[in-house]
Amino acid sequence: MDLALDARLIARAVKGRLLGNNLPVKGVSIDSRKVKEGELFVALIGQRFNAHEFVKDAFRAGAVGALVSQEVELPRGRFLIKVDDTLRALRELGKFQRSRFKGTVVGVAGSAGKTTTKEMIYHLLSEVGYSYRSPGNLNSQIGLPLVLSNMPTDAEFAVLELGASKRGEVANLTKLARPKVRVITAIGEEHLETFGSLEDVIEGNGEIFTDFGEKDLAVLPYRLKDRFNLPKSRVITFGEGGEFEAKGVRLTEEGVRFFCRGEEFEIPLLSLSAVENALAAFGVLKALGYNPAEFRERLRSFRGVEGRMQVIKRGGIVIIDDTYNANPPSVRNALRTLASLSSRGKKIAVLGDMLELGESSPELHREVGRLVAELNLDTVLFYGKEMRYAYEEAVKLGINCFHFNKSCDITNFVLKEKGAGNIILFKGSRGVRMELVLQEVVESLDGA
């Protein structure tokens, strides 16, 4: 990875004052605990922290320089770049790196499936050229500038994730990323506390088409094809009715198979939503001049993202780890996936709160209660304060379900339900820490 950056170039890009040696920079970091040898450390200031306190730690970890707005000690043989505002400077550095990038940028927005779609596009494009993508889910007003700052100038493709919790944020990120291919994965209820309404969510994600250029292309769900007033000749659609539509979807414990344009594809993920992710990726391939059918083998080697519909097997039990996060559309996808699986035992869902839904939270959780009844799952465990609404709805509908406030109660319940053939789904928002609940259950099963 070649950033082609040095201290003097960075100082010029961020309009800062360089103190110390002009040294090459191998990367940019905002976390002193994760700084690598040869990187630049950016000392951000937040509401609850001031990273200037950790500049010494960053230098000890191998940073060659630091971007600062306060007085700090400069070690011998290193450099400092002094600016008025380090967050603004990080954004300027990201903008500078983007201006030097000669490859093709793909931007990915949406309510659900952004990270998996981004990883899938990256995985497929890596077959045909040197590709770079946002690591993890660095998609915020801080995350994306950091991702751009680390963008290698010699990559052919860059796949960037654009996230938002309110109107205006995707537009802000789009102006930085300037993607040629702009993707919306799916739209649903998310961050309603700050977005306000589903309509605002749609408009907010549609901001990815801000400054839509004459050579830019859009990839989006068919039902949104006329929503954003885009030139029809530069819109590629996917999903039911779209140019890329899945037929004959079949789900097994090994993954999902489907047909698209007469070709059969296989993804080794236990997820119905992975099909929509793949269709969006096919749209990107078409936009870049490739035939998706030529990527069938490459798609079969896609392993997904940690915490997103990953399979853990313990004895005869299949555990589905979808603990990374949760909002209504992703919960619906996960539950429908569970219901679609054939099982020799019980189908059990362990559902934690969906957070940041504002005044809509009670009704959206009640909808989950109605959905589990419709899907006829064997047992559902609801976990957390908000999921009590789902539990109460499911009880009214006669579902075999339980509500817990303690993770140990879930563990004890699962240990009693460890019959061969059982499939257990774990799903919940980040704030509920469902990954820790799952870890406790797996460790208990290992020790049983």
The two beta strands, 317-322 and 423-427, are parallel
Element (H, E) at 424: strand 423-427
Instruction: Among 124-138, 263-277, 306-320, name the one with the lowest average pLDDT.
Output: 306-320
The pLDDT, as a whole number, for residue 195 is: 58
pLDDT, residue 209, reads 96
Query: Global pTM?
Result: 0.88
Confidence check: pLDDT of 119 > 90: yes
Query: What is the rounded average pLDDT of the residues 188-192?
Result: 59
Residue 143: closest CA among 158, 162, 128 = 162
| Whether the predicted pLDDT of 57 surpasses 80 | yes
Which runs of E-coded beta strand occur in 122-197?
131-133, 157-161, 181-184
Does the pLDDT at position 174 exceed 80? Answer: yes
Euclidean distance between CA atoms 391 and 111, whole angstroms: 25
Give me the pLDDT at residue 86, please.
98
Q: Which CATH superfamily is domain 101-300 in?
A: Mur-like, catalytic domain (3.40.1190.10)
Q: Report which of residues 74 and 309 the model is more confident about.
A: 74
Is pLDDT at 125 greater than 60 in this prediction? yes
pLDDT digits over 400-447, tens only?
Answer: 999 999 989 999 998 887 778 899 999 998 888 999 989 998 888 887
Residue 8 has pLDDT above 90, yes or no: yes
Residues in the chain: 448
Distance, C-alpha 30 to centroid of its chain: 20
Q: In the predicted model, is pLDDT for residue 197 greater than 80?
A: no
What's the pLDDT score for residue 191? 57
Confidence category of residue 192, pLDDT binned at 50, 70, 90: low
Q: Which residue has the higher pLDDT, 29 or 192?
A: 29
Q: What is the pLDDT of residue 194?
A: 56
pLDDT band at 189 (very low <50, low <70, confident <90, very high): low
Whole-number pLDDT of residue 374: 94
CATH code, 5-83: 3.40.1390.10
Specify the pLDDT at position 13. Answer: 97
Confidence (pLDDT) at 370? 96
In the predicted model, what is the mean pLDDT of residues 97-120? 94
All residues at 6 or more sequence positions from 81 whose CB lies less than 8 Å from its CB, including other chains? 7, 10, 11, 14, 16, 17, 18, 19, 65, 66, 67, 68, 89
Question: What is the band of 2 on the pLDDT scale with cuts at 50, 70, 90?
Answer: confident
Residue 196 has pLDDT above 80, yes or no: no
Percent of the chain with pLDDT over 70: 97
Q: Is the pLDDT of residue 170 over 60?
A: yes
Q: Give the mean pLDDT of the chain.
A: 93
Six-digit token string for 394:
């499911």
Q: Which CATH architecture has domain 310-447?
A: Alpha-Beta Complex (3.90)
Cα separation, 37 vs 47, whole angstroms = 28
Between residues 211 and 200, the one the model is more confident about? 211
Whether the CB-CB separation of 171 and 202 falls below 8 Å is answered with no
List the domain boundaries for the chain: 5-83, 101-300, 310-447
How far is 430 from 444, CA to CA, in rounded Å?
22
- Res. 188 pLDDT band, cuts 50 70 90: low
Position 395 confidence tier, pLDDT thresholds 50, 70, 90: very high
Q: Express each pLDDT in 137-156 by its tens digit.
A: 899 999 999 999 999 999 99
What pLDDT is recorded for position 350?
A: 96
Region 248-267: mean pLDDT is 92
Candidate ranges 95-99, 191-195, 355-359, 419-423; pick with highest mean pLDDT: 95-99
Structure confidence at residue 426 (pLDDT)? 95
pLDDT at 448: 60
Of 306 and 217, the one with more pLDDT:
217
Mean pLDDT of 288-301: 97
Tell whether the model's pLDDT for residue 48 goes beyond 70. Answer: yes
Contact by Cβ (8 Å): 409, 416:
no
Q: Output the pLDDT for position 77.
A: 95
Partnered with residue 320 across adjacent β-strands are 311, 425
